[in-house]
Amino acid sequence: MNTKTKVGFIGLGAMGRGAVANLLAKGYDVVGCDVRADALDWLRAEGGTPASSLAEMAGQVHIVVCFVVNSQQTEAVLFGNGGLVGRLPAGAVFIACSTMDPGYVRALEGRLAQHSIALIDAPVTGGAIGAERGSLTIMGSGTREAFEVARPVLETFGAHVHYLGLAGSGAQMKVLNQLLCGVHLAAAGEALALAKRQGLPLDLTLEILCSGAAGSWMLADRGPRMIAGRFDHITSAVDIFVKDMSLVLDATRESRFPAALAHAAYLAFLGTAARGLGAQDDSAVTTHYEMTAGAS
């Protein structure tokens, strides 16, 4: 690998920081953008190069990794005031790691192609811990040629990098992933709220459930926070799952596919957000069941 390869990086949140740390550790130079000054300070301290604007970044790189929240932020990064389109060099590759609507992604590929920019749709799963450890699963799609350009970058923070074909296929796979994540997380919150109402010892309950067939990644990861009732250490917010489960429901409507469990999980996250907890960690979904049952 050319150790002087520069990669642009947008979005230095919990996931983005882990990915950037791996890029830097594996020999890449990273030019980063974020709206928060503290995130840019962090990047500088890690050995990366903060960019004061997207335009400043665009003049230095041929590959950009984007870890923003949704399609609206992606649109702003690309086509908004001071955005990358028209500033990136011809032949640049834009790697979108956000969870977005597959239809938007498919249209975006064509729009970027008009500006000689290749899109790689590459949503990820594995959480902030996976980003930090470089063990994310990445669901890549786009042209094979552009994907092979992007692959070495993706492999710095992804242990399982998959190519799914045409752009939008990655987004479709991420929708399925979020269906299961949302249902598993909501189910974990419901089970632990029931255990609390029944007066079971919660630490032991979690240990038993995680050790047997009822265990899940979501239960093991979010369960301790649900038991503690502390939701201010945010790895992924309730509002993120409101957004992601909305994408799931959009997909089920388009496919004429009845998905009762997905709908129930969506309502649990929406109910949690409606109580003012949308910005809290998504493990706060357990409070939806506690409040619904009238628990203290």
Residues marked as catalytic:
174
The whole-angstrom separation of Cα 35 and Cα 170 is 27
- 130: tokens are 């996976």
Please report where in the chains the tokens 């995130």 appear, as a residue.
39
The values of phi and psi at residue 95, to 5°, are: -100, 110
Residue entry with tokens 């038993």: 208
Q: In this structure, are strands 124-125 and 49-50 parallel, antiparallel, or unpaired?
A: unpaired
Closest of 187, 172, 195, 255 to residue 217, by C-alpha: 187
Gap between the Cα atoms of 139 and 164, Å rounded: 7
Spatial distance between the Cα atoms of 188 and 227, rounded to a whole number of angstroms: 11
Please answer whether residues 149 and 227 qualify as being in contact, where contact means their C-beta atoms are separated by less than 8 angstroms.
Answer: no
* H-helix or E-strand spanning residue 198: helix 169-198
Q: Are 98 and 74 in contact (CB under 8 A)?
A: yes
To the nearest 10°, the Cα dihedral for 93, 53, 89, 119?
20
